[in-house]
Structure 1
Amino acid sequence: MSISATDVNKLRQMTGAGMMDCKKALTEANGDFETAIDILRKKGQKVSASRSDKEAKEGSVFVKTNDKGNEGIIVALNCETDFVAKNEEFQKLGSMILEVADKNKPASIDELLSLKSGNLSIQEHITDLVGKIGEKVEVSSYERVTGDQVVPYIHGGAKLGVLVALKGVAGGNFTEVGKDVAMQIAAMKPIALDKGDVDPSVVQREIEIGKEQARAEGKAEAMLEKIALGKLNKFYKDNTLLNQEFVKDNSKTISQMLDSVQKGLTVSAFRRISVN
């Protein structure tokens, strides 16, 4: 059957797909719009599958806190090119995923992808966008944090995001100091909150490395353990948030800086995610 330009344009407005794709879908569907939409969605699924081996190292990080400011959500939506990351539809999709996550509080990315917005699941919305743009799109990270006060931070053109959960606020508002801590996390990349939060396997690896370094320097075997533990303390100072030197005032650690702002103020949790 003959497909009019008006019908093609109407389907394009409904779906955002290309003109030729819309014409082919309508022709295959004998002019039925619902069937044509399904055909386009199936095309998207095929595109998604065909690009599953591509690297999606661009994208945007989206963050949101609730009205009380005691819970935050952070989502990283990846794509293949920075051009697509700046696309309005891509940004709308990221914001929509964030809203769905905030409303439903899923426990994992898989659970998030199964949630619905309108008649489609998040994964189906992603698949539809893949069909339109021809690039791999995926949710690479999703985290939720709670605390007395949760402070969000976006860095580097939305390529990196941080959530900081503060404890001991005692009814005060510590947004600015929370942002200082978030900026520290963005720049210094701590691997854990405090010494006791470092994975035991990492601790053991650092001890063994310290011993080997000391042995290579010709230190006595009886001294290796002590030297390695000294190096481990340096590792904690460099890599655990509360023990890091505060970038804005290196005479204090993060823990000391927070306590100087208000007695007992500290960080109970943080999340740092990026799209590359």
Structure 2
Amino acid sequence: MAITAKDVAELRQRTGAGMMDCKKALEENNGDMNAAIEYLRKKGIAKAEKRADRSTSEGIVAGEVFANGASGALVEVACETDFVARNEDFGAIVTALLAHRVQSTAADIDAFLGEAMSGSTNETVAEYVKAAASKTGEAVNVKRTVRFDAGANGQVGMYRHHNGKLSALVQITASSAEVANHEATKELVKYIAEHVAASAPIAVDRNGVSPEKLESERRVAEGQAREAGKPDAMIEKIATGKVEAFLKDVTLMPQPWVRDAGITIAQLVADHAKKAGGDITVDRFARLQLGAE
């Protein structure tokens, strides 16, 4: 297939590799972007794919924890300029959308946008956004939304960065309602949410990482070992070690805590569970950064 300048530019942005290397990688892999990324990593030209954190728009990621800490929601609302993002009219739109999300149990963004807007009998959330956008003079859209409901033995914690462009939500389950509502548990979910925002893990633990992702990392590690001239007898062992190091780096529980690198998140959870007098399990998290995928 024909390789376009746009394809080359995207690959360069995602890997940091040079233009000619990106062009060759795409040509060698028939334009397959993911295969080209893997090719560059095997060659040692790209260490890893860059996280998709480049801002593609302005706006706000708003959030709220409610129902006595058992539920929480995030809404990412985008606009065109930072000037509008700081505008009172835009802030009112975001506030209204978050208030609706608190009442909504929609499973995904499409269902959310298709619901009847709170306080209105004749317009959907999508129609409300379209009408409200006219007040700002810019295009406005709801890009993503998340809601967690933890139940009687759970707790939800949130962190929202001061610039309003990054928020994280964490859900835990405790061994009892008493443990869930203990001050140590409430402190813990806030600490973990803050850590998720700062460290951007991709899963709670290794069980949350797809087999496809692990196999890709293994192939990359094997390719790098061969490029480095390592003997065949050592390649599998080297690859296994690199995959384990990858899991330790990108999953939540083994990561060093951002507030104290001397302990892991797993140790932090264990310490707070002991203070609360029971067991605590981290169920899931969500991290919404403005403009990121």
With structure 2 as the length reference, what TM-score do the two structures score?
0.72
Question: Counterpart in 2 of 1:132?
Answer: 135
Which of 143, 147, 157 aligns to 1:144? It is 147
Residue 281 of structure 2 aligns with which residue?
A: 266
- Aligned counterpart for 1:159 among listed residues 165, 174, 177: 165
Q: Report the Cα offset of residue 231 of structure 1.
A: 0.6
| Paired letter, 1:124 | E
Amino acid at match of 1:109: I
> How do 1:1-276 and structure 2 match up within 5 A?
57-115=57-115, 116-117=117-118, 118=120, 119-147=122-150, 148-168=154-174, 169-173=179-183, 174-263=185-274, 264-276=279-291
Which amino acid in 1 is paired with 2:260? D
Taking the aligned partners of 2:194 and 2:181, their CA distance within structure 1 comes to: 23
| Equivalent pair of 1:56/1:79 in contact (CA under 8 Å) | no
Q: After TM superposition, where is structure 1 displaced by more than 4 Å over at least 4 residues in a row?
A: none
Q: Unaligned regions of 5+ residues in structure 1, if any?
A: 1-54
% same residue? 36
Q: Matches of 2:89 and 2:206 in 1, distance apart?
A: 43
Return the offset for 1:176.
Answer: 2.4
Contact 2:89 2:135 in 1 (8 A): no
Question: Tell me, what secondary structure is at the counterpart of 2:69?
Answer: coil
Secondary structure of the equivalent of 1:142?
strand
SS in 2 for 1:193: coil
Residue deviations 1:106-145, cap 9 Å, x none?
Answer: 1121121122231422112211133233312111111111
**Structure 2 CA distance, aligned partners of 1:209 and 1:92?**
48
Separation of aligned partners in 1, 2:164 and 2:189: 18
What SS does the aligned partner of 1:242 have? coil
Given that 1:237 and 1:245 are in contact with CA atoms closer than 8 Å, whether structure 2 keeps it comes out as: no
Task: Give the C-alpha shift of residue 198 in structure 1.
Answer: 0.5
Counterpart residue number, 2:25: none
Tell me which amino acid in the other structure corresponds to 2:221: G
Amino acid at match of 1:126: V
Question: How far apart are residue 271 of structure 1 and its match?
Answer: 0.5
1:120 aligned counterpart, secondary structure: coil
Q: Secondary structure at the match of 1:105?
A: coil
Question: How far does residue 56 in structure 1 lie from its aligned partner after superposition?
Answer: 5.7
Unaligned runs of at least 5 residues, structure 2: 1-54
Give the root-mean-square deviation of aligned CA atoms. Answer: 1.7
Following superposition, the deviation at residue 104 of structure 1 comes to: 2.4
Q: Distance in 2 between matches of 1:254 and 1:89?
A: 40
- Could you tell me how far 1:230 is from its partner in structure 2? 0.5
1:219-264 alpha-carbon deviations (Å, 9 max, x no partner): 1112211111101111111100011111222222101111012243
Once the two structures are superposed, residues 74-113 of structure 1 have per-residue CA deviations (whole angstroms, 9 ceiling, x without a partner) of 1100111111111112111111111212212111211211
How far the C-alpha of 1:275 sits from its partner, in A, is: 1.2
Task: Give the paired residue count.
Answer: 222
CA distance in 2, matches of 1:127, 1:92: 14
- Larger Cα-atom Rg: 1
